[in-house]
Structure 1
């Protein structure tokens, strides 16, 4: 699977702590593609709810998913490659995001491994206590979805390289870019 006729928009997905932002930043730097952090598109009410330790409901997520989908559609309509992070935990969420030229990159890991990562992460609004709800909500991508899966046991650099190789992407040939240099904040 995971083939597209045009330069793709990659949706880096997985539970909180799976490394979406880090892998996306490495990919954006290597490819020279625009990067958007899906979390930046959350309404303030969603951020406040998560900061207080409350999981989001589907009603909370729909406006956010529409913002993410708008970003994706802007890129696919113009044929512009891009990378966006989004947990996209349920199939119905991915159904809102998917389309021609969209490839989901599913970062998979055990609850224990990801929990260890979250315990050492600071400054993010998603508290480690909500990881259980993320795993409960997770519906892994299925054959009818355009995706590749990666184990989070590798380093972010190795994971990014695997994405480039598996999707036959062309790294940018001029000078190195720092990870996330092409990042565009939510709009």
Structure 2
């Protein structure tokens, strides 16, 4: 962490369907806060990657060990000085509960929310990722958008993404400044 980085007092999980920009947004947030970054896609077992690459949607049973691995990584950072930023689709409320069950630290979700047209365009132009654009509709069908009762910051991908991220950072810093 650099001398000028604000301390991130919570964990952030950047969530959204494939192609929403979770890795890019997560790396930006981690860099800003000088926080460790967990790339959820890198923690998928090879069987999940092969299944998705073949165009087959994952089941809840496929996702469970992956979600638990991310949850363990978040909990491992509990005693550190800084929260962690993770990228994970977190498509269902039950998945979000699994992700936050093991950590003692407050965990907020940064929800990258965009139109189907924008997401399809982003997926069509993305290079080198195992998730084919053909699974977008499956992801959108599975997605349970976070409710008002969840700790979430929504980023509108159809707007000015840089401005949306800057606004999210300002909100996180203001809220974290109030935490002793």
Equivalent in the alignment of 1:37:
39
- Where 1:56 maps in the other structure, the secondary structure is coil
1:22 pairs with 2:27: no
Please report how far the alpha carbon of residue 110 of structure 1 lies from its aligned counterpart in structure 2 after TM superposition. 0.7
Unaligned regions of 5+ residues in structure 2, if any? 1-7, 176-180
Do the aligned residues in 2 keep the contact of 1:75 with 1:82 (CA within 8 Å)?
A: yes
Unaligned regions of 5+ residues in structure 1, if any? 1-5, 171-187
TM-score, length-normalised on structure 2? Answer: 0.85
1:111 pairs with 2:113: no
Do the aligned residues in 2 keep the contact of 1:14 with 1:86 (CA within 8 Å)?
A: yes
Greater length-normalized contact order (CA 8 Å, ≥ 6 residues apart): 1
Q: Aligned pairs, how many?
A: 165
Do the aligned residues in 1 keep the contact of 2:113 with 2:155 (CA within 8 Å)?
A: yes
TM-score, length-normalised on structure 1? Answer: 0.82
1:127 paired residue among 122, 129, 132 = 132
- Compute the RMSD of aligned alpha carbons: 1.7
1:150 pairs with 2:150: no
The whole-number CA distance in structure 2 between the counterparts of 1:126 and 1:158 is: 28
Do the aligned residues in 2 keep the contact of 1:8 with 1:76 (CA within 8 Å)?
A: no
